[in-house]
Amino acid sequence: MNVKNYFLIITLIGMIFLVGGAGATINRTMATAACEACGMEIQKEDVSSFLLVSSDGSEHWGCCPICGMVEAIYYSDSELQGQCFSCGKPIVMNFRDGELSWLDFSGNSEFIRVVLGGSCMTNKLTCSPACSNAIRLTYDWASNVPEKTLQESANIANTKLSSFTIAYRPTKIPLLNYALIGIGISLISVALIALIIQKRKTNNKTTW
């Protein structure tokens, strides 16, 4: 195997590391987000996650109904998209001037509740008494916790707004991803530099 082939192999290995690290980083950025209210990292496709679309079309993420409403109040005119934690039925809340104005829901909106489990991880949105009961029967933490209507929950969120710093929070990238990218770039750079040096040596020998 000649020297050029060795350089090619090193370059290919570097490309594998670089593409792997970059791909993992892009996938993580696309699939995850950080709650703009509390900072908790969430999976965008998780049934507990809330997508907020503000009046300028920008997207923001909340980890639970309360955090989502805090953001909706903060951004004043916005649409908060959520799902029933039990059955996954879409529930869309619209806020105008920082207040809950109307709902986009295919069922009886009077039965929509927020189960307040005491933390972001245990605050859940439900669409019916059956779904609320299903949560209570499934999770120990939900067996004896209060339920609030959407308006009551919005009032709670309004009182919490002053204690939150609403801001974009970038998704944390694992150090392994940075390491893979760094190794890939280093290998490619070393291979290219070594190839250039080898070519110069070959040219000098040819000249002599």
pLDDT surpassing 80 at residue 3: no
Polymer length in residues for the chain: 208
Residues 95-147 have pLDDT tens digits of 999 999 999 999 899 999 999 999 999 999 999 999 999 999 999 999 999 99
pLDDT band at 5 (very low <50, low <70, confident <90, very high): confident
pLDDT surpassing 60 at residue 1: no
* Cβ atoms < 10 Å from Cβ of 109: 15
Q: Which helix (H) or strand (E) holds 113?
A: strand 113-116
* Residues 143, 116: Cα–Cα separation, whole Å: 11
Structure tokens at 76: 């004043």
Q: What backbone torsions phi and psi does residue 10 show, to the nearest 5 degrees?
A: -65, -40
Structure tokens at 101: 């104005």
* Cβ atoms < 10 Å from Cβ of 68: 29
Which residues fall within 8 angstroms of residue 121, CB to CB, at 6 or more apart?
40, 63, 64
Residues 27-82 have pLDDT tens digits of 888 899 999 999 999 999 999 999 999 999 999 999 999 999 999 999 999 999 99
Residues 143-163 have pLDDT tens digits of 999 999 999 999 999 999 999
pLDDT surpassing 60 at residue 207: no
